[in-house]
């Protein structure tokens, strides 16, 4: 079912040359993120976060793969959010807002939740997905790079420390951003960090750092890469001192 650019070219019988069907042209010029948004608008109920999650999972497992955390790891994320019951949450990497919706739907009304996304096109779609789920009042979507925003979070958002951080942006930033959060005093004893994709595409320097640091108690949940059977883990890091 995956879209292939080659399939957009159709040789018509003995005609010399190529022609496009109307749908092929539409598929070519509408981005994946917009197709995800359309799937939400078509199949999810406004104000019902779980139906938004279902619509995205259905689209990405049956039609086109996308880099949302997905349902299998998403269920682990849900259980960590419920267990930690955080009053302050930071998500690094919003994309289309899939995990943002999962997290926000489980937070108590007083919680502060910031999600960072540096791609303005992704952020624009995420805003609409979050609004479709009826969660716009529970999430602060901030546009910009994590390394620029982390040092400003305390001052700009009046947050002292985070109870939970979900790391799901580009993997080469996991280590530097964790160190930056430490330096900025955003992590405290008892803070929990959940990190996706440490195996695929992988963040070996990050794994080495948290495994060798006496500050972190780490374990991982065995899982699979979103919408595939490839092995993947979700790393759970508790700060113990
Ligand atoms: C894997 S996707 C996030 C998926 C999302 N958490 C979900 O499960 O629905 C990673 C996202 O992080 C964003 N990103 C990568 N590096 C970033 C950075 N340094 N600061 C902010 N956003 C970043 C990318 O643009 C991309 O949208």
Q: pLDDT tens digit string along 15-48?
A: 334 444 555 544 556 799 999 999 999 999 999 9
Question: What residues line ligand 1, using a CB cutoff of 6 Å?
Answer: 67-69, 93, 95, 98-99, 116-119, 122, 145-146, 168-170, 173
Task: Work out the average pLDDT over 159-176.
Answer: 96
Residue 8 inside a domain? The answer is: no
- In the residue annotation, 197 being an active-site residue is answered as yes
Three-state DSSP class for residue 21:
coil
10 in a structural domain: no
Catalytic residue list contains 22: no
pLDDT of residue 30: 77
38, part of any domain: no
Catalytic residue of the set 57, 72, 91, 168: 168
Say what percent of the chain tops pLDDT 70. Answer: 87
The CATH number given to whatever domain includes residue 140 is 3.40.50.150
Residues 6+ apart with CB under 8 A from 185: 154, 160, 161
Cβ atoms of 173 and 142 closer than 8 Å: no
Name the helix (H) or strand (E) containing 217.
strand 216-224
In a domain, 228, yes or no: yes
Which of the following is catalytic: 171, 177, 232, 233? 171
Active-site hit among 163, 226, 232, 233:
226
Ligand 1 atom with least separation from CA of 91: 6
Q: How far apart are CA 117 and CA 123, in angstroms?
A: 6
Helix residue ranges per DSSP H, 88-215: 98-105, 120-132, 146-149, 153-157, 174-183, 204-212
Model confidence at 227, pLDDT cuts 50, 70, 90, reads: confident
117 C-alpha to ligand 1 centroid (Å): 6
**Residue 82, in any domain of the structure:** yes
Cis peptide before 138 (omega within 30 of 0): no
Judge whether 7 lies within some domain: no
Q: What is the pLDDT of residue 1?
A: 42
Atom of ligand 1 nearest to the CA of 95: 27
99 band by pLDDT with thresholds 50, 70 and 90: very high
Place of tokens 């979700």: 234
Range of the domain at 200: 70-239
DSSP state of 169: S
Q: Are 60 and 38 in contact (CB under 8 A)?
A: no
Mutate to test the pocket of ligand 1, among 32, 71, 73, 95 (most ligand atoms within 8 A of CB): 95
Do the domain assignments include residue 233? Answer: yes
pLDDT in tens, 52-79: 999 999 999 999 999 999 999 999 999 9
Confirm if 142 and 114 have CB atoms less than 8 A apart: yes
Do the Cβ atoms of 49 and 38 come closer than 8 Å?
no
Q: Could you tell me the CA-to-CA distances from 229 to 59, 109, 232 in Å, in that order?
A: 17, 36, 9
Residue owning the nearest CA to atom 26 of ligand 1: 95
Domain count, the chain: 1
In this predicted structure, the answer to whether residue 95 has a pLDDT above a threshold of 50 is yes
- pLDDT at residue 29 in the model: 64
Q: Is residue 144 part of a domain?
A: yes
């Amino acid at each position: 079912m995956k879209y292939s650019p080659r399939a957009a070219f159709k040789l018509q019988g003995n005609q010399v040359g190529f022609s496009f069907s109307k749908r092929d042209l539409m598929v070519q010029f509408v981005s994946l993120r917009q197709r995800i948004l359309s799937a939400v608008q078509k199949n999810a109920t406004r104000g019902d976060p779980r139906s938004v999650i279902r619509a995205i999972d259905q689209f990405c497992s049956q039609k086109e793969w996308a880099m949302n955390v997905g349902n299998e790891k998403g269920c682990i994320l849900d259980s960590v959010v419920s267990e930690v019951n955080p009053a302050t949450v930071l998500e690094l990497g919003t994309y289309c807002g899939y995990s943002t919706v999962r997290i926000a739907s489980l937070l108590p009304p007083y919680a502060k939740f910031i999600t960072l996304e540096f791609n303005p096109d992704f952020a624009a779609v995420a805003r609409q997905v979050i609004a479709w789920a009826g969660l716009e009042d529970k999430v602060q979507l901030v546009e910009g790079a994590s390394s620029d925003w982390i040092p400003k979070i305390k001052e700009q958002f009046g947050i002292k420390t985070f109870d939970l951080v979900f790391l799901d942006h580009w993997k080469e930033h996991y280590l530097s951003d964790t160190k930056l959060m430490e330096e900025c005093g955003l992590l405290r004893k008892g803070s929990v960090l959940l990190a996706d994709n440490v195996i695929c595409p992988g963040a070996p320097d990050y794994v080495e750092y948290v495994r060798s640091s006496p500050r972190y108690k780490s374990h991982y949940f065995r899982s699979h890469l979103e919408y595939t059977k490839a092995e993947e883990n979700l790393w759970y890091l508790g700060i113990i001192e």
